[in-house]
Copies of this chain bind each other. A is one copy, B any other.
Amino acid sequence: MSTEIRLAGEGGQGLIKAGFILGESATVFDKKNAVQTSSYGVEARGGESSSDIIISDGKIYFPRVRHLDILLSFTQITADKYVNILKDSGKLFIDDDFVRVPKNYDGEVFSFPYIRTARSKFNLVIIANIIALSSIAYATNVVSIEALRKAVLKNAPEKAKDMNLEAIDIGISFCKQ
C-alpha cells in the first residue's frame, strides 16, 4: 500500500523543505519507505517549485508519482494543472485565499488559510508549509503527527522550535473545525 503526494506551489513557499521533512517523518520516524523528488524548475526565479513523495510500507517499485492520493497547492496554476492526476478518492488541500477549487473538480477539498495564518500569527509566511503538512498528516494519516513533530523539530533552528510546534497545532485545529 503506497501513498502518492505532491506539494506544489512556487519558489520561496518552503515546499521543497516540506517534502524533505515529510520524507523524514515517514522513514526515520514512522519506519516506512519513501522516495521524494523535488523539482526546483525555476524556483530561484519565483517559478513553480514542487515536491513529490511516495510513502510505502513495502518496497517502492516505481519511483515517480502517477495518480495522486494527496495534492497540496499553494498556487492556482498548480491546483488547476495537477488536479487531473488526483485520484477520485484523493484529497485536495489548497490555500483558502490564493486558490479556488478547480473547475469540474468534485472530490474532497480541504481549504485552509495557511499563508494568511502564518503571516498573522508568526509574521513569517514560509511557516505555512508546516501548518499545511500538519493538516495533511492529521486529515490523512499519511504520516503520524508524532513522526511529523519529531522531523519538524529535527529540522528547525533552536529558537524556532516553539513556533514550529505551534504551527503543527494550528494545522490540526484547522481540521478539527
Contacts and interface: CB of A to CB of B under 8 A. Distances in A.
Interface of A: 11, 16-17, 20, 23-24, 26-28, 31-45, 60, 63-64, 157-159
8 contacts: A16-B24, A27-B43, A33-B41, A33-B42, A34-B39, A34-B40, A36-B38, A157-B158
A157 B160 CA distance: 10
As for how many copies of this chain the complex holds, the number is: 2
Given A16-B23, A43-B27, A35 B34 contact: no
Looking at chain A's contact residues, the main secondary structure is mixed
Q: Which among A28, A43, A60, A159 has the highest number of chain B CB atoms within 10 Å?
A: A43
A44 B63 contact: no
